[in-house]
Amino acid sequence: MKRRALLSVSDKEGIVTLAKELVALGYEVLSTGGTYREIEKNGIAVTKVSDVTQFPEIMDGRVKTLHPAIHGGILARREKGHMAEAEKHGIGLIDIVAVNLYPFESTIARADCTYDLAIENIDIGGPTMVRSAAKNHQYVNILVNPAQYGPLIDALKKDGETSLEFRKQLALEAFSHTAQYDALISGYLSRMAGLDMPEHYFLVGQKIADLRYGENPHQKAAFYAEKKAGLANAKQYGGKELSFNNLMDLEAAVNMVQEFTKPACMIIKHMNPCGAALGENLLEAYNKAYACDPVSAFGSIVSFNGKLEKDTAEQVVKTFVEAVVAPAYSEEAIDILKTKKNLRIMEMDMSILDKEVDVKKVAGGFLVQEKDRELLKDDIEWVTEKQADEVVEDDLLFAWKMVKHIKSNAIVLVKNLATIGIGPGQTNRVGAAKIALEQACEAAEGSVLASDAFFPFRDTVDTAADYGVVAVIQPGGSIRDEESIVACNERGLAMAFTGMRHFKH
């Protein structure tokens, strides 16, 4: 019996070569629609699926391969009972299936995508063939990626057939492919239905790279892309391979810097900032951020929210930095950064970051929450006799944006749109304040303080006043708020409540 292959793909890459090679190996090639036309116009012998089914493609191509003559040929076991049934019903066997699916992901990513267009790009016949072939992998090869074509042809040329282990791997990739496809559709329909927290939530990723190790050398790790955006789509110009810890710090660095439209720089260690600033340009922002804590800046991750130019690159390379990330670089800046051969130079589009949800793994499941939202100037409520002027208010808003990204309990001191003291991850609030104030030392005079949660006692206000802090921003909501307000009035501080907490675990 002549061997047959069914080719029906949306992505035509490599399909003509595959068809040509299969015909040369003695296969009859079956195909549909655009794939049939692509193969035929290249002078390769090909049979229409409708000639096999004796039934035309109908309903604008929605029904082409959904037929016993096709699925019987794919699903038949090569044993006496199934072979007899196939012969009885005139069903020819299909040994190879090459299918990739309608481009649903790229369709819904289009700015002009309508609901009807999205629905029309949900593939039905394709996934059905993929699943049929993958289920019957004991006998059938299923190809869902052009990268698989070459290895298949190599195996057929060498041995005349593929091994069961080879087909098992193809089946695994096929079911992963359809699972990802269905998850995309489910996610889209959930969003269209306005479901923030749907009954079923799917996380599906495609491996980008095996990492050398995880947070520590004894831990295995890999990087998976959920979508073609963010770090998963970043371009690396030079330096060593990214590590697990690099990626975690880059994520934190980008999340912080993209909060701002004014030129901004963040210097990150262990997912916490050791310096952050705004400036008239990126060079000024970097110098101000670096000045916050030059010691901790050694071995850090540095992020920028604008195009990095030569002058800023020259400053960055004066200290050891693990990685730099920005939305763009000048050629001169890249050349300068490349003089540090191990420096990872990352270019990333920060305009399309996922702002919808935050996902965290816990034992037995995962937690999903909305991303922590930003504070608007109009949301501030002044609760003290004294109110801040515009300059101090700008510092307060900057400090409030920064404290959102720091491990709780967190305190941030800011002056002239730059952090001067950061107290992260403490188990009591006044302890976090003391760390930030002691780091700032004399520079704390005239600064502002942001706290990610309310003050349970007035001690944080008193400690801040001792160092010369002039204004405070915090959520409010403590049963002892009045004590903190009285402390501010006694010590001449302005204090604003936001009504919004910024815990970060």
Give catalytic status of residue 270 as yes or no. Answer: yes
Q: What is the pLDDT of residue 374?
A: 74
What average pLDDT score do residues 314-323 get? 96
pLDDT band with cut points at 50, 70 and 90 for residue 71: confident
CB contact at 8 A, 181 and 123 = yes
Q: What is the pLDDT of residue 26?
A: 92
Q: Tell me the three-class secondary structure of 105-149, residue by residue.
A: HHHHHCCCCCHHHHHHCCCCHHHHHHHHHHHCCCCCEEECCHHHH
What percent of the chain stands above pLDDT 70? 98
Distance from chain centroid for Cα 83: 48
Q: What is the pLDDT of residue 216?
A: 94
Question: Per-residue pLDDT tens for 449-474?
Answer: 999 888 888 999 999 999 999 999 99
Q: What is the pLDDT of residue 1?
A: 66
pLDDT band with cut points at 50, 70 and 90 for residue 354: low
**Can you read off the two tokens belonging to residue 386?**
């004294």
Q: What is the pLDDT of residue 462?
A: 92
Q: Does the pLDDT at position 95 exceed 70?
A: yes
Of 89-93, 294-298, 302-306, where does mean pLDDT reach its minimum?
89-93
Q: What is the pLDDT of residue 8?
A: 92
Please name the residue that has the structure tokens 């491996």.
Answer: 207
The model's pTM is 0.83
Q: What is the pLDDT of residue 490?
A: 94
Positive/negative CA dihedral, 325, 329, 331, 336: negative
Q: What is the pLDDT of residue 355?
A: 64
Question: What is the DSSP secondary-structure string of 32-49?
Answer: -HHHHHHHHTTT---EEH
Question: Per-residue pLDDT tens for 220-266?
Answer: 999 998 877 788 889 999 899 999 999 999 999 999 999 999 999 99
CA distance 301 to 268: 5
Q: What is the pLDDT of residue 426?
A: 86
pLDDT band with cut points at 50, 70 and 90 for residue 61: low
Per-chain mean pLDDT for the chain: 90
Q: Does the pLDDT at position 96 exceed 90?
A: yes
Q: Does the pLDDT at position 500 exceed 90?
A: no
Pairing mode, strands 494-497 and 381-382: antiparallel
CB contact at 8 A, 405 and 438 = no
Q: Does the pLDDT at position 505 exceed 90?
A: no
Q: What is the pLDDT of residue 372?
A: 79
- CA distances (Å), 226 to each of 191, 203, 229, 375, in order? 16, 7, 8, 28
Domains in the chain, CATH or no CATH each = 4-192 (3.40.50.1380), 235-348 (3.40.140.20), 377-497 (3.40.140.20)
What percent of the chain stands above pLDDT 90? 63
**Can you read off the two tokens belonging to residue 329?**
């670089």
Q: Which value, in Å, is the radius of gyration of the alpha carbons in the chain?
A: 30
What average pLDDT score do residues 80-93 get? 85
Q: What is the pLDDT of residue 168?
A: 97
Q: What is the pLDDT of residue 251?
A: 92
pLDDT band with cut points at 50, 70 and 90 for residue 147: very high
Q: What is the pLDDT of residue 33?
A: 83
Instruction: Name the active-site residue from 48, 82, 135, 227.
Output: 135
Instruction: Name the active-site residue from 20, 270, 338, 407.
Output: 270
pLDDT band with cut points at 50, 70 and 90 for residue 108: confident
pLDDT band with cut points at 50, 70 and 90 for residue 50: confident
Measure CA of the first residue to CA of the last residue in the chain; give whole Å: 64
Give catalytic status of residue 41 as yes or no. Answer: no
Angle at CA of residue 418, ends 415 and 421, nearest 5°: 75
3-state DSSP percent of the chain in helix, strand and coil, to 5: 40, 20, 40
